[in-house]
Amino acid sequence: MGPEEKFGRASFFDGGLLALIGWSILGLLVTVLSLGILYPWSLVMVYGWKINHTVIDGHRMQFDGSAMGLFGNWIKWLFLIIITIGVYTFWVGIKLEDWKAKNTRFIN
Protein backbone atom coordinates (compact mmCIF):
# COMPACT_ATOMS: atom_id res chain seq x y z
CA MET A 1 0.00 0.00 0.00
CA GLY A 2 1.57 3.28 -1.13
CA PRO A 3 1.30 6.61 0.67
CA GLU A 4 -1.35 7.84 -1.76
CA GLU A 5 -3.57 4.85 -0.99
CA LYS A 6 -2.95 5.02 2.75
CA PHE A 7 -3.97 8.66 3.13
CA GLY A 8 -6.35 8.93 0.17
CA ARG A 9 -4.60 12.11 -0.97
CA ALA A 10 -2.33 12.89 -3.84
CA SER A 11 0.86 14.89 -4.02
CA PHE A 12 1.58 16.61 -7.30
CA PHE A 13 2.88 19.67 -9.11
CA ASP A 14 0.43 21.32 -11.52
CA GLY A 15 2.61 23.99 -13.09
CA GLY A 16 3.43 23.82 -16.79
CA LEU A 17 6.74 23.79 -18.62
CA LEU A 18 6.07 26.91 -20.70
CA ALA A 19 5.10 28.91 -17.61
CA LEU A 20 8.27 27.78 -15.82
CA ILE A 21 10.39 28.77 -18.80
CA GLY A 22 8.62 32.13 -19.02
CA TRP A 23 9.02 32.93 -15.30
CA SER A 24 12.66 31.83 -15.36
CA ILE A 25 13.49 33.97 -18.40
CA LEU A 26 11.70 36.95 -16.88
CA GLY A 27 13.60 36.46 -13.62
CA LEU A 28 16.91 36.23 -15.46
CA LEU A 29 16.19 39.35 -17.51
CA VAL A 30 15.15 41.35 -14.44
CA THR A 31 18.29 40.25 -12.59
CA VAL A 32 20.66 40.99 -15.47
CA LEU A 33 19.09 44.33 -16.41
CA SER A 34 19.20 45.51 -12.78
CA LEU A 35 22.81 44.33 -12.40
CA GLY A 36 21.69 41.88 -9.72
CA ILE A 37 19.88 44.39 -7.52
CA LEU A 38 16.48 42.84 -8.24
CA TYR A 39 17.66 39.25 -7.78
CA PRO A 40 15.58 38.88 -4.58
CA TRP A 41 12.45 39.87 -6.55
CA SER A 42 13.34 37.34 -9.23
CA LEU A 43 13.93 34.61 -6.67
CA VAL A 44 10.63 35.30 -4.89
CA MET A 45 8.75 35.35 -8.19
CA VAL A 46 10.07 32.00 -9.46
CA TYR A 47 10.04 30.21 -6.10
CA GLY A 48 6.54 31.49 -5.36
CA TRP A 49 5.29 30.16 -8.69
CA LYS A 50 6.77 26.72 -7.94
CA ILE A 51 5.34 26.51 -4.41
CA ASN A 52 1.92 27.86 -5.42
CA HIS A 53 1.63 24.99 -7.93
CA THR A 54 2.54 22.27 -5.42
CA VAL A 55 0.11 19.99 -3.55
CA ILE A 56 1.38 17.69 -0.78
CA ASP A 57 -0.92 14.96 0.54
CA GLY A 58 -3.93 16.83 -0.83
CA HIS A 59 -2.92 20.16 0.71
CA ARG A 60 -2.02 23.01 -1.62
CA MET A 61 0.99 25.03 -0.58
CA GLN A 62 1.30 28.80 -0.70
CA PHE A 63 4.35 31.04 -0.60
CA ASP A 64 3.75 34.43 1.00
CA GLY A 65 7.29 35.82 1.12
CA SER A 66 7.90 39.26 -0.35
CA ALA A 67 10.77 40.63 -2.37
CA MET A 68 11.16 43.46 0.16
CA GLY A 69 11.40 40.97 3.02
CA LEU A 70 14.06 39.00 1.18
CA PHE A 71 15.88 42.18 0.13
CA GLY A 72 16.25 43.19 3.79
CA ASN A 73 17.78 39.82 4.59
CA TRP A 74 19.94 40.03 1.46
CA ILE A 75 21.46 43.33 2.69
CA LYS A 76 22.04 41.84 6.18
CA TRP A 77 23.67 38.74 4.69
CA LEU A 78 25.88 40.86 2.41
CA PHE A 79 27.02 42.89 5.42
CA LEU A 80 27.84 39.69 7.32
CA ILE A 81 29.77 38.35 4.33
CA ILE A 82 31.82 41.55 4.20
CA ILE A 83 32.64 41.73 7.92
CA THR A 84 33.56 38.01 8.06
CA ILE A 85 35.75 38.34 4.96
CA GLY A 86 33.54 35.92 3.03
CA VAL A 87 33.17 33.19 5.66
CA TYR A 88 29.43 33.87 6.10
CA THR A 89 28.93 32.97 2.42
CA PHE A 90 28.74 29.33 3.49
CA TRP A 91 25.63 30.08 5.59
CA VAL A 92 23.73 32.21 3.07
CA GLY A 93 22.30 29.21 1.21
CA ILE A 94 21.01 27.72 4.47
CA LYS A 95 19.57 31.07 5.57
CA LEU A 96 17.81 31.41 2.21
CA GLU A 97 16.24 27.95 2.55
CA ASP A 98 15.17 28.83 6.10
CA TRP A 99 13.57 32.07 4.87
CA LYS A 100 11.71 30.15 2.14
CA ALA A 101 10.42 27.60 4.68
CA LYS A 102 9.26 30.34 7.06
CA ASN A 103 7.23 31.88 4.23
CA THR A 104 5.66 28.66 2.94
CA ARG A 105 2.42 27.24 4.31
CA PHE A 106 -0.50 24.96 3.53
CA ILE A 107 -3.71 26.75 2.53
CA ASN A 108 -6.19 23.88 2.95
Beta strands in 1-108 (DSSP E): 12-13, 54-56, 59-63, 104-106
The count of domains in the chain is 1
Predicted confidence (pLDDT) per residue in 34-64, tens digit: 998 899 999 999 999 999 999 999 999 999 9
Structural domain for 15, as ranges: 9-106
Kindly state the DSSP code that residue 9 receives in the 8-state scheme.
Answer: -
Threshold 0.85, pTM exceeds: no
The number of beta carbons lying within 10 Å of the beta carbon of residue 37 is 12
Residue 16 is assigned to a structural domain of this protein: yes
pLDDT for the residue 2: 52
Do residues 63 and 47 lie in contact, with contact meaning Cβ atoms separated by under 8 Å?
yes
pLDDT at 27 exceeding the cut of 60: yes
H runs (alpha helix) in 2-88: 3-7, 17-33, 39-52, 67-83
Mean pLDDT of 10-19: 95
Residue 31 is assigned to a structural domain of this protein: yes
Please give the backbone phi and psi of residue 57, each rounded to the nearest 5 degrees, phi first: 50, 40
